[in-house]
Structure formats: structure tokens, C-alpha cells
Chains A and B, each alone.
Chain A
Amino acid sequence: MIALCFAIFLLILPTAAIGGVRAFDTPDDGGNSITVVWDTEPLRASQAEYVRIEIQRRVVSGSGWDDLGKIPIDDSVYVDDNVENGVGYTYRLIFTDVSGGAIIVDSEPAKSSPQLFNSRRTNVLIGVLICIVVLGYYFYRGRKGGFFYVRPIAGLQAIDEAVGRATELGKPILYSAGRGSMQRVATIASMNVLSSVATKAAEYNTPLLFPNNDPVVAAVAQEVAYEAYVKAGHPDRYVAENIFYLTDSQFGYAAAVDGIMVRQRPATNLFMGSFEAESLILAETGNSIGAIQIAGTDSTIQLSFFIVACDYVLIGEEYFAASGYLAKDPLVLSSLKGQDMLKLILGILLILGAILVTAGGGELLSVLEIG
């Protein structure tokens, strides 16, 4: 009886200006979601002290209201992730004050639908398209036989010298791709460098040792090296056992490679790939056995360790340039030119951004936020 009286009391209450409830399809999502928003300002301005908001939902063609739960009084948004696409829903908010009085506000019906494009990521799309267009243009020029000059990179020029030294001393070359898996770009670049190194090792008949941290990288490296030996005309000199998987443990790998260095005494160590804290352990051990060491990595923090302990270091982009540089592949070289162009665009944007922030227009940079 009391409940009935309360229900009648609720029904006769006026739907005051309080609330301003609006329901709409949640934007930029995969569907099955409706967002309900309301204005909390009138609640605060009201003399009554509101303590609770309840939310209910009804299918437009249906009859009864389903309770969805209670909402903290300060909230102004509710996302209903449990709706069917294409079905109309009406939402009801019941604002209850401290004395038990309540105001009911209903929304207009809303339907949920899935979107095909997340408009909050338009900025990323523009960025991606710019990259594709710029790089695509230079790929096109490269395919047409365009010439691209790349400045001499000391570390890459030294590879020949390093392989030659190993041959003179009759000692092996040790190659490491570090800790990266095959999906890392640094590892892909490493395979390109390996191809050139293996070709030279095949020509000079110098053993090439390549202990691996990842089984997939080991398998790919075997293929890359074999192709290089075939290309050099010496498939008989290829020893598959020299390219092997060791362990995926970081320091287990460092210990094993150190052991190989100390026992086999390679004349040349090439560290090309993604490295972590093991970089200094490897490079210092190589230094202690007097090997010529060349390192290339995208791991910025490890660069400082390699610089101290190695003879030559390829820094960041120089390392990515290695494959095009060594193979003289015009398509790879053309992408380097494309990267330069993108860098120029980024540089201009950075300067504009800095001017904008300095001039107090920093809020405009919010267009760069990813949704």
C-alpha cells in the first residue's frame, strides 16, 4: 500500500526543468551502447538537497521499466552497454532529495548502431595518410630508377674491415640480434645487415656464429644466411649449426654469448638489433677479448653503453638505413629520402606547435589527442 502511494506520488510530481536528460547512440563505437547525459547544474542550484539518482530503461514498444541501478549524485553521464542495435529505448532518471521527494525525467527514445569509422581518430588517419603518400611517392621514384645519395656511415663502412680482420686472424665473426622478436623492426633491419655480413663471410670463408634469443629469429636467420652464401657462390661453406637458438632468458643469453666469446675468441662482434640491459655485459666482454665491435640499435638507452664499449655505433636511424646502404637497394634508399621528408614536415609542425603554446594557444593542440 505504501509502495503504491509512493508510486502515485512519483507520477503526479511535475517534471521540472531539472535534469535535461538526453539519450543518444554512443558515438564512435561498435554498437550495443547508448549514452545518457543530463545537466547537474539545476540540481546544485536547487534548494532541495538531492542525494540519489536512479536510472531505468524501457523498450519504446514495451511497457515496463527495467531498473538499471543507482548513480552517484555528481555524475552526469551513464553509458548503457547492454542494448540491442536498432531497438528504441527510453531512459528515465529519478532524482531523489533528502526528504524523499523525487523528480522524474524521461529521455527521448534513442537507438544504438555500430559505426564504421571512429571519428576521434581522424587525426591519426591524416597522419598515416601523409606518411603513406610521402613514402609512396619516394618508393615510386625509387622504382623508376631515381638516385638517392646516402652520406657515408662509418659504422657500415667498417663492416668490411671487421670481416677482413677476422679472416686475417683466422677467427670467427660473432653476430647478435639482441632480444628482439621477428615482429620488431630493429630485428628485420638486423636480418638485412646479416645478409650483407653473411655474403662477405662466405666470400672470405670466415665462420659466422649467430646465437639467438628467439627461435623464430634463429629460423629466419638460417634462411637469410643460407641465401647469402648461395648468392656469394659458396653454399658449401654454410654451416647451419653456427646459427642457433640459445634461450629466451635475458641474462641466460648474455651468459651464453659471453661464454662463446671467451672460448671461441671471435675477432669481430656485430651487435645489430634490440638490446636491453645485457648490452654492456656483451660489449664489455667483447672489449676484454680485443674484438672489433660494431653495434647498431634502436634502443636509445643502450646506445650509451655501446658507445663506451664498441668501436663503431649506428645510432637510431643510421641503423635502419643500414639495409639500404649495404644492399644499395633503390627502394630501401628511397624510403630513407621519404623519412627525411617526413622529418622535415614534423620539424615544421614542432616549431609551429612551440610558437602556438608560447603564444597561449596550447588548447588548439588538443586536436592531436587520440580518441
Chain B
Amino acid sequence: MGQNDKNKMGIQGRHFIFILMAIVVAAPLIFRVGLPLRVTAEVRQVYGFLDRLPPHSAVIFSFDHETSTLPEMVPLAEALLRHCFRKNLKVFGMALLAEGAAVGDDNLRRIGSEYDKKYGEDYLFWGFRPQFTTAILALGERIDHEFPSDYTGQDIRSFPVMEGIENYKDIAAVITVGDGDIPVYWVNYAQARYGVKIIPAVTAVMATTMYPFLQSGQLVGLAAGLKGAAEYEMLIGKPGRAVKGMDAQSGAHIFVIILILVGNTVMIAGRRRKGR
């Protein structure tokens, strides 16, 4: 690896690329193309697993992201929550990053109300815990010890939905909606140590980090990025904002491919000039 050609692409060149990228992403959001979508096996695995769970099985939704990634995280969380509520599963929300707490609580209440679910009876939001490794490990011992009260400050044992829920033994799956490394920690600590099933719903940029765990059978499946959300929306039969966003993503990918080709053409032309 040597020195990069730092100054070959000037500021103007960089800004020109940035402007084109903005146009390529924005245009399909305004003028819809409606490209067909293929549902990948890993997303289908998530759907199949949740669909087969008996009613009232408990799932944890851990909102392990910040507000920066909301455009990717919210469609993923919404699609998965809709499926869980429709299947009458008990949903427990929590967050391992402070910003995820407000977003998670809002998601749960909003999607819960779509299905007439009641707070404390059908779902509950435990709140935020710092130091994610210790929090993940502590939930494996006693949930009410780690979260004595819910997000609103009430004793979690006072809610009927908590009946029979002690630790991971009573949890069918943990869905970690994450934009960083935290889903990996869920695998390393909750799956490897306590055997709990993990479903990562992660940003596209983090997807490849999860593939080794998917292949080793440590994950139920994987829903990644806007594409994962769009596929899940298709599976639950409720196309939403993720499906709409896929045209923009396609545009961005094609633009990057064109840039690679242009970059190489410029390089080859430059070599020829030098050769002369």
C-alpha cells in the first residue's frame, strides 16, 4: 500500500461528485421508478422464525442506534414491530445507546397503537442502560434486577406483560436494531453465553460484519439496511418508506459504479498521455 494520489482530484472534482450524488439520490425519491425487489434468504429466515413463534412468545427489541441513522433504522424497526404485534407476541423494548431510548419508546407506542396494543399488557419499554456489555450479560441473570423500573419509572413487576419473564430463558429472540458494533456484542455475550436467538436489524454498512455469524448459525437471519427493511415490508404485505427508498439506493449504487469506471478511464487516459 503506498501513498495515495491525494491531489489528483481537486476540490472542484470532489464537489462535482458530491452534487451529482445528491441529485442521483434525491431524484428517485421525487419521481418514483418502482423497481422490482427480490427477497433475500436471510430476511426470509427472520420472517419465517418470527412467523412460527407461538402467540405471546416474548421478544426483546433493543434500539442500539443513534438518531443519525434513523432513515435506515426506523423502517427496519417498524416492519419488524408490525410483524411481532400482528403475531400477538409480547414485545419488550430497551436501548443500549441513550439516543435509542427516545426513538425506541416512540416506535413501540406508535406501532403498538396501530394494532390496539396496550402498554404494560402487550408491550413494555424498559429504558436505557449504559455499558452495553454488562447490560447484555446482566439480562441473562435477572431482567428485573437490570431494569427494576420501566422507561416511565414504574416497577416493571407491576406490569402484567412481565409475568413469567425472568431472564433470557423466557425470551424467544432478541432483535437488535443497531447502527454500530452492538449487534456483535449481542452475539458474543447473549448468544454464545446464554444461547438466546439473535436477529440483527442493522445498517447496510454494518451488514458484512454480521455475515460470518449468519453463516456459523449464530443468527436467526439478518435484515440489513433500507433493502432489508424494504424486503421485510414486502413480506408482511405492507410496503412503506423503505420500498420507496430503494429506487434512490439503486441510483446511488449505479452512480458509484459509473464513478469507478470513469475513474479508471481517466487513469488509463493519463497513462497513455504519459506514455507519449
- The reply to whether A307 and B181 contact each other, CB–CB distance below 8 Å, is no
Closest to A307 in B: B1
Closest to A292 in B: B3
- Per a CB cutoff under 8 Å, which of B131, B133, B203 touches A277? B203
Q: How far is the CB of B154 from chain A (nearest CB, A)?
A: 26
Q: Contacts A277-B203, A301-B208: A309 and B4 contacting too (C-beta < 8 A)?
A: yes
The answer, yes or no, to whether B192 is at the interface (CB within 8 Å) is yes
- The reply to whether B14 and A277 contact each other, CB–CB distance below 8 Å, is no
Closest to B204 in A: A277
- Per a CB cutoff under 8 Å, which of B2, B193, B208 touches A311? B2
- Per a CB cutoff under 8 Å, which of A181, A250, A287 touches B6? A287
Residues of A within 8 A of B133 (CB): 183
Closest to A308 in B: B4
Closest to B211 in A: A301
Residues of A within 8 A of B35 (CB): none
Per the bound structure, the CA–CA distance linking A80 and B258 in Å amounts to 64
Q: How far is the CB of A283 from chain B (nearest CB, A)?
A: 10
The answer, yes or no, to whether A317 is at the interface (CB within 8 Å) is no
Q: How far is the CB of A227 from chain B (nearest CB, A)?
A: 27
Per the bound structure, the CA–CA distance linking A309 and B7 in Å amounts to 13
The answer, yes or no, to whether A154 is at the interface (CB within 8 Å) is yes
Using C-beta atoms within 8 Å of the partner chain, give the interface range for chain B.
Answer: 20 to 34
Per the bound structure, the CA–CA distance linking A301 and B207 in Å amounts to 9
Contact mask for chain B residues 206-243; partner A; CB cutoff 8 A; 1 contact, 0 none? 10110000000000000000000000000000000000
Contact mask for chain B residues 179-215; partner A; CB cutoff 8 A; 1 contact, 0 none? 1110000000000110100000001011011000000
Residues of B within 8 A of A313 (CB): 1
Per the bound structure, the CA–CA distance linking A299 and B1 in Å amounts to 19
Residues of B within 8 A of A181 (CB): 131
- The reply to whether B206 and A277 contact each other, CB–CB distance below 8 Å, is yes
- The reply to whether A154 and B1 contact each other, CB–CB distance below 8 Å, is yes
Residues of A within 8 A of B12 (CB): none
Using C-beta atoms within 8 Å of the partner chain, give the interface range for chain A.
Answer: 20 to 34
- The reply to whether A311 and B179 contact each other, CB–CB distance below 8 Å, is no
- The reply to whether A287 and B4 contact each other, CB–CB distance below 8 Å, is yes
- The reply to whether A301 and B206 contact each other, CB–CB distance below 8 Å, is yes
Q: Contacts A277-B180, A370-B192: A290 and B7 contacting too (C-beta < 8 A)?
A: yes
- The reply to whether A249 and B1 contact each other, CB–CB distance below 8 Å, is no
Q: Contacts A277-B205, A290-B7: A179 and B180 contacting too (C-beta < 8 A)?
A: yes
The answer, yes or no, to whether A312 is at the interface (CB within 8 Å) is yes
- The reply to whether B4 and A301 contact each other, CB–CB distance below 8 Å, is no
- The reply to whether A276 and B180 contact each other, CB–CB distance below 8 Å, is yes
- The reply to whether B209 and A300 contact each other, CB–CB distance below 8 Å, is yes
The answer, yes or no, to whether B247 is at the interface (CB within 8 Å) is no
- The reply to whether B66 and A311 contact each other, CB–CB distance below 8 Å, is no
The answer, yes or no, to whether A288 is at the interface (CB within 8 Å) is yes
- The reply to whether A311 and B3 contact each other, CB–CB distance below 8 Å, is yes
B133, B181, B193, B206 — most chain A CB neighbours (10 Å): B181
- The reply to whether B1 and A312 contact each other, CB–CB distance below 8 Å, is yes
- The reply to whether A299 and B181 contact each other, CB–CB distance below 8 Å, is yes
Per the bound structure, the CA–CA distance linking A183 and B14 in Å amounts to 38
Q: How far is the CB of A104 from chain B (nearest CB, A)?
A: 27
- The reply to whether A276 and B3 contact each other, CB–CB distance below 8 Å, is no
Residues of A within 8 A of B99 (CB): 249
- The reply to whether A276 and B66 contact each other, CB–CB distance below 8 Å, is no
Closest to A183 in B: B133
Q: Contacts A183-B133, A307-B1: A251 and B66 contacting too (C-beta < 8 A)?
A: yes
Per the bound structure, the CA–CA distance linking A312 and B4 in Å amounts to 10
Per the bound structure, the CA–CA distance linking A250 and B69 in Å amounts to 10
Closest to B68 in A: A251
Per the bound structure, the CA–CA distance linking A290 and B99 in Å amounts to 34
Contact mask for chain A residues 302-335; partner B; CB cutoff 8 A; 1 contact, 0 none? 0000010111110000000000000000000000
Per the bound structure, the CA–CA distance linking A199 and B35 in Å amounts to 57
Per the bound structure, the CA–CA distance linking A249 and B179 in Å amounts to 12
Q: How far is the CB of B15 from chain A (nearest CB, A)?
A: 11
Per the bound structure, the CA–CA distance linking A225 and B140 in Å amounts to 39
Closest to A248 in B: B98
- The reply to whether A250 and B180 contact each other, CB–CB distance below 8 Å, is yes
Q: How far is the CB of B239 from chain A (nearest CB, A)?
A: 27
Closest to A288 in B: B14
Q: How far is the CB of A291 from chain B (nearest CB, A)?
A: 9
The answer, yes or no, to whether A195 is at the interface (CB within 8 Å) is no
Residues of A within 8 A of B208 (CB): 301
Contact mask for chain A residues 258-296; partner B; CB cutoff 8 A; 1 contact, 0 none? 000000000000000010110000000001101000000
Q: Contacts A249-B66, A251-B68, A277-B203: A301 and B209 contacting too (C-beta < 8 A)?
A: yes
Residues of A within 8 A of B2 (CB): 311
- The reply to whether A277 and B66 contact each other, CB–CB distance below 8 Å, is no
- Per a CB cutoff under 8 Å, which of B4, B68, B195 touches A250? B68
Residues of chain B touching chain A, judged by Cβ–Cβ distance below 8 Å, are 1-4, 6-7, 11, 14, 66, 68-69, 99, 131, 133, 179-181, 192-193, 195, 203, 205-206, 208-209
* 17 residue pairs from A and B, CB less than 8 Å apart: A154-B1, A183-B133, A249-B66, A250-B68, A277-B180, A277-B205, A277-B206, A287-B4, A288-B11, A290-B6, A300-B209, A301-B208, A311-B2, A311-B3, A311-B4, A313-B1, A370-B192
Given contacts A250-B179, A251-B66, A311-B1, 10 further A-B contacts (CB under 8 A): A249-B99, A250-B66, A250-B180, A274-B181, A276-B179, A277-B179, A290-B7, A299-B209, A301-B209, A310-B4
The 5 closest A-B pairs by CB, nearest first: A251-B68, A276-B180, A301-B209, A277-B205, A290-B6
